[in-house]
Amino acid sequence: MTKIGDSIPDLELEAFLGDRIEKVRLTDYRDQWLVLLFYPSDFTFVCPTELQEAADLYEQFTELGAEVLSVSTDSAFVHKSWHESSKAVGKVRFPMLADRSGRMCREFGTYIENEGLSLRATFIVDPQGIVKLIEMHDEAIGRNVGEILRKLQALKYVSDHPDAVCPASWKPGAEVLKPKFDLIGGL
């Protein structure tokens, strides 16, 4: 299972993007931030609200040098059908990955074995392919994509400013902390 500080696996999956189905490799996104949005299933109730919110904020993610990928165990053809039939999902301009075998979900620890579905989870990966954030929760509640964007901004800031850390609820332009290390090497 992928943990904070791990390199992401080099997996290739089919993805629906725009009007086509193509192969996507996770390593294709090296040198940029990556936001992975795992969700249970297409044609459900909560999932389209999250994907619409991600689509609405997508330009802000790309301005930060990030790509968003959504991931479920549905096929790329099901993604295409959902994209064409849902006003909310029709806004999506990022790749929708099809993890039919559940391999990617298993690698990232989101797979629900007895259901063949993924938990609702978010991973943020830095440009070197290292996992920096993991959030995972029950499928009955949706995530706040605006908060994911804020956390990406904070991760990017501390990556660019290694002498700084961001306090709770930090937003761009707010004060950061510049801790001094003590003799035993902690903060």
- Residues annotated catalytic, as ranges: 47
Residue type, 158: V
Q: How many CA atoms lie within 13 A of 23 on its CB side?
A: 5
How many other CB atoms sit within 10 Å of the CB of residue 20? Answer: 9
SS3 content of the chain, % helix, strand, coil (to 5): 30, 25, 45
User: In 11-95, which ranges are E strands?
Assistant: 12-17, 20-25, 33-38, 66-72
Residue 97 in contact with residue 13, Cβ under 8 Å? yes
Phi-psi region of 109 (alpha: psi -120 to 50; beta: other; left: phi over 0): left
